[in-house]
Structure 1
Amino acid sequence: MPHPAPSWASLSQSERLADAPVVRRGGCWWLVSSSGAMLASDRAFTGELDRFATDMAAANRAVADLPNARDASDTPVREVRR
């Protein structure tokens, strides 16, 4: 069953996967360019995109947590006497 091509007029930079010419909409990966879009249907390829998206999300969370880790490391540590 063919998938209808989504409207890319509303595509924002934040919807792209790490500035790559791919987006995930409606549970499907789409390859996008200025001339149009094409549904990515190869399971091995879309599986890699899924893994990459998961890793990017984890990296983004880790970077977002850096200021919190810095604040904690700036707190003076009491010297422990033995």
Structure 2
Amino acid sequence: MSHPAPSWALVRRSERLADAPVVRRGTDWWLVSASGSVPASDPVFTDELDRFATDLAAADRVVAEIRAQSKAEARQ
């Protein structure tokens, strides 16, 4: 399923990768700005974006686990 080009006005901050002007829609990466959006088509660049997004998600999970563990320890 093809996803429409993101519009800067419609891109929520939570959709952007680490507050960068890049958004993943489906399997496609888009560079977004106030003047428009452009699909990111360079496979080396998009592979790096994929790796960065995966690493960022893993880091977010670890932080959430640490916070949950800290709360559990504080209750004891």
Scaled to the shorter chain, the TM-score interval is 0.7 to 0.9
Change (3 A) 1:71 1:7: closer
Quick check: 2:31–2:37 contact (8 Å CA) kept in 1? yes
State the Cα distance separating 1:67 from its structure 2 match.
2.0
- Residue 30 of structure 1: CA displacement? 0.3
* TM-score normalised by length of structure 2: 0.82
Higher relative contact order (CA 8 A, sep 6+): 2
Gaps of 5+ in 2: none
**Uncovered stretches (5+) of structure 1, i.e. residues with no partner:** 76-82
Identity of aligned residues (%): 56
Q: CA deviation at 1:7?
A: 4.1
What is the TM-score of this pair, normalised by structure 1? 0.77
**1:35 matched to 2:35:** yes
Equivalent residues in 2 for 1:18-29 (5 A)? 18-29=18-29
Q: Greater helix percent: which structure?
A: 2
Which consecutive aligned stretches of 4+ in structure 1 deviate over 3 angstroms post-superposition? 71-75
